[in-house]
Chains A and B, each alone.
Chain A
Amino acid sequence: MKIDRRLLINFDWVLLGMVLLISAIGILNIYSASHNLYTRGEPLYTKQLYWLLVGLVLMIITFSVDYHTIIRYAYLIYLVGIALLFLVALYGNITHGSQRWLVLWGFSFQPSELMKLVLIIVLARYCTDNVQDGFRARNLLVLFAIVGLPVYMIARQPDLGTAMFLVLLFATITLFVGVGRKLILWSVAGGMALAPVGWFLILKDYQKERILTFLDPDRDPLGTGYHIIQSIIAVGSGSLWGKGFLKGTQTQLKFLPEQQTDFAFSVFAEEWGFLGVVVLIFIFLALILWGLQLARNSRDLPGTLLAFGVTMFVFWGIFINIGMVLGIFPVVGIPLPFISYGGSSLVVLLMGAGLLMNVSMRRFILQP
């Protein structure tokens, strides 16, 4: 592959800097959350560091290949993603009652995480090909099929949080590309009609319990409400200055559930306080605004859609996860981008960042 010098000149160092900064905060935070946790093998923060390195390699690969080429192979990529989901359904490891993991050469990996990125790519491709000025109903039906299959497969793992996340991502991108007013109304009406069906037929008892608990955490303070109550205590007790690194009592005494994964932000908020939180949120905000700016500056539709999709992917992760930790949303298993422990999530996010860099560094180069 011939490397154009302009690519290096235009390389998005700011984006890389932000991503590395947040990832570093993430690893420190995981260290605090898990240094006194007994785990088999390597400590979690070392593992996360390995995943970071793997992710960086994949990120380099992702931005090295022209995103137009990626778009060209979008459907193939989609098929690979679906195939991985099938493999999960057939051979996946079952933990905590759901089948989400694929184990390859000793590494376990969640294809559903990868699917988030795959979905962005395939939507970018489909929209580029078929949409001139907003969606038509026919387009939507095809899109439903494209999105519906992975959503269904992930929902039956079961991993409702990720499935809903895909739907949300899809809806965001669809709105961005443009939908007629009528279609929006029909979708909202349809959604409302389907909600009770979902409640009674699709949601499992523990999922309903989570939603009820969200509405009233004190329903069951030692059971399902425990997570959110302990999380709020952890966050709030951080006050302005925080309790200090490794000094969060909620964290170190393990009152916080899932403290290195879904509730990693509580750990951070407890130990670093409001000031630390504001700094972290501003870095996140800067990242998001930077991504949206990339979408704006891209010269072509696929570039805009990819940049927008990845940015919203990160945004929704931040918003839903922090919202959940702060008790604004029900407890759903959405990790906090770059902060929560989890190899799949981190690697996929870094690849997403690679896509952003890809669009960024090629914004001045029109493909021949």
Chain B
Amino acid sequence: MFGNRDYLTNYDPKKFRQRLRVFTWCVLCAFFLLIARMWYLQIVKGDVLRQRSESNRIRIQEIKPLRGLIVDSRGDILVNNQSSFDISIIPEIAKNAADVRNRLAGLCDWGDASIFLEEAALKSPRPFVPVKVARNIGRDKLAVVESHTLNLPGVVVDIVPVREYIYGAMDAHLLGYVGEISSSELGRDASAAYRADDVVGKYGIEKYLDDVLKGKSGGEQVEVDAAGRRLNVLGRIDPVSGHTLVLNIDSDLQKVCWDAFKEQAGTVVVMEPRTGAVMAMVSRPSFDPNLFNRGISEQSWKTLTEDPLCPLQNRAISGQYPPGSTYKLFVAAAALEEGLITENTETWCNGTYPMGNRTFRCWRKRGHGTVDLHRAIVESCDVYFYHLGDMLGVDTMAEYAKTFGFGSATGVSLPGEKSGLVPTREWKLRRFGEPWQRGETTSLAIGQGFALVTPLQLLRAYCALANGGTLYKPWLVKRIETADGQTVQEFSPEVEGIVPVSRKNLDILRNALWGVVNEPHGTGGALKRKEQDVCGKTGTSQVISLPDDEEDQKGEIPYRFRDHALFVCFAPYTDPEVAVVVVVEHGGHGGSAAAPIARRVIDGYFRLAQERGVK
């Protein structure tokens, strides 16, 4: 079949040579295309792609810093760092990660720290990158896992530092808590100083001074291969631990306050009048900040947020209360300074103060009889102050209140502070579109009505009374130190202003405050110690005003309508070194509900001072 040689004679090379030329050109074009593409990739995009190959090869692995500690004024640690343990599986070593996972899950009852492992993670193209399967396991479980390491190839334990709040709920509002940064916080942060899995302060000092506490991340420049295996460390920058905060808080005193206050809701704050140093701050009810450490459970979070008493609120700075009779001192100061009265100005209190078709009442139904300023403060006579209010007018009262720091935030180093409210004519018009009523001035003169103060504001104003007129900024952070104890920044008392009240008038007021506690008929008798050195003032702030005929049934009115009990005091009378404010929400009368708590705190303070002095 192939025997004949037809193909030799029939072969016409010309035709094929022509076609070969066409094919040759096609081949040349194809090779040109390849070279052109190569030119584009290697010469035009060469630099860009070389960078991409470098970033392929070199990873920056963040090394997280330790968060700064927080200690009290005496060096007692309030917040520490503890180890928590996470479990990861390295797929490449585990070979069969799902199987290892199941073995791990079968080891013990994992409870909350359930073992998780997404299927997708197993198919990762970088099998040397560990995949997290459990977070925050306890030491007991860690021991179980470690004793089975032979059966668990590829299982590694990561140590993750967590915050340990030594005193738990006691310091919760002050110190706050931390948590993983949320996407909204991340979006807000323009400086890009935070990364997606950073732990940041969420509340309290942890939040307010997060910058100082968080420290600086270090990093390792690591060469990795396609499987994610670390080959070389090319460079390393050590992380810098966060700074230590030294607070003015005295942890022992904090404990005294915590124990002194057993009521449902309220707050105790202790300040040093000479400096504005905050020595203790307790808010009740409280919560355990350690719950937030590795992400709070949904259940616990719900319990906290749905509690009608709002345990997450720091009442010392964000609770706003009508100041009640504690406000009278500032009304008196205004009247004295304006020259409307002297310490001898007397008035007659028969228990009522008629105005138009309304009658304002003194808290003491049968009246106080003839009272001068001193007696009016000591016995907290309302009628005397109704007169003063009328004489001063709302705006003059507001002027003086503002000089005592009311109506604006104190600037304490804590987030979420409220500014309170000092009402004026203009404010009312703006807020309600209605003119100011004369009767509202009358209420205001005894600290009821629109006026709102935070316990910290009130305490600071009383410190100004105590120290001779200097208004300090509440001073919480004493010093910032590096982790190894070098001082970074030392803070000193900050003067916000001097109240426009003369020495003489301040003495008159202080003397009256001494009388409140130590004289017969004084409303603050609970604070009368054998040293007779405490000055103070009771306050009862009305939540709603009740008609006269219901006054007698106070014991039966619902909790949420009961009056708040306030007490604010300082000691000793000469050269005061400690001031205390107590607010008991819905506690009733200041003298009966708040003053005993203040007594325990004052007693505790002097007992501690004595013990330490002896030492």
Contact = CB atoms under 8 A, between A and B. Distances in A.
Contact of A274 (B27, B43, B47, B223): B43
A254 B57 CA distance: 10
B30 interface: yes
A277 B38 contact: yes
**Secondary structure class of chain A's binding surface, majority of residues:** helix
B400 to A, nearest CB: 69
B8 A300 contact: yes
A295 B15 CA distance: 12
Contacts of A274: 38-39, 42-43, 46
B613 interface: no
Interface in B42-90: 42-43, 45-50, 52-54, 56-57
A326 interface: yes
Contacts of A125: 2
B491 interface: no
A328 B38 contact: no
A52 interface: no
Nearest to A71: B2
A132 B10 contact: yes
A302 B7 contact: yes
Given A132-B10, A322-B34, A237 B2 contact: no
A255 B24 contact: no
Contact of A281 (B16, B35, B223): B35
Contacts of A119: none
Contacts of A273: 42
A250 B53 CA distance: 7
Contacts of B8: 299-300, 366
Nearest to A275: B42
Interface string B1-20: 11000011011010111011
Contacts of B49: 232-233, 235-237
Given A72-B2, A236-B42, A274-B42, A281 B31 contact: yes
Given A226-B125, A232-B49, A250-B53, A319 B39 contact: no
Nearest to A127: B7
Contacts of A302: 7
B17 A253 contact: no
B124 to A, nearest CB: 8
A179 to B, nearest CB: 11
Contacts of B220: none
Contacts of B10: 132, 301
A236 B34 contact: no
Interface stretch (B224-232, B284-292, B383-391): B224-232
Given A292-B23, A366-B8, A239 B50 contact: yes
B237 interface: no
Contacts of A277: 35, 38, 42
Given A233-B49, A239-B50, A296 B17 contact: yes
Interface in A155-176: 176
Given A234-B53, A249-B54, A326 B46 contact: no
Contacts of A285: 27-28, 31
Contact of A289 (B24, B41, B42): B24
A250 B34 CA distance: 21
A304 B10 CA distance: 13
A326 B34 contact: yes
Given A236-B45, A288-B27, A289-B24, A253 B125 contact: no
B118 to A, nearest CB: 15
Contact of A238 (B2, B42, B225): B42
A203 interface: no
A239 B27 contact: no
A300 B50 contact: no
B5 to A, nearest CB: 8
B50 A237 contact: yes
Nearest to B17: A296
B33 interface: yes
A250 B19 CA distance: 42
B225 A289 contact: no
A365 to B, nearest CB: 12
A288 B32 CA distance: 14
Contact of A326 (B2, B19, B41): B41
Contact of A249 (B2, B27, B56): B56
A269 B38 contact: yes
Interface of A: 71-72, 125, 128-129, 132, 176, 178, 222, 226, 230, 232-240, 249-250, 253-256, 269-270, 273-274, 277-278, 281, 284-285, 288-289, 292, 295-296, 299-302, 304, 308, 312, 315, 319, 322-323, 326, 328, 366
Interface of B: 1-2, 7-8, 10-11, 13, 15-17, 19-20, 23-24, 27-28, 30-31, 33-35, 37-39, 41-43, 45-50, 52-54, 56-57, 125, 223-227, 231
29 contacts: A125-B2, A176-B16, A232-B49, A236-B41, A236-B46, A236-B50, A249-B54, A253-B223, A253-B226, A255-B53, A274-B38, A277-B35, A277-B38, A278-B35, A281-B34, A281-B35, A281-B38, A284-B31, A292-B24, A296-B20, A301-B10, A304-B16, A308-B23, A319-B30, A319-B31, A326-B34, A326-B38, A326-B41, A328-B37
Given A125-B2, A230-B56, A304-B16, 6 more contacts: A234-B53, A237-B50, A249-B54, A253-B231, A254-B226, A281-B35
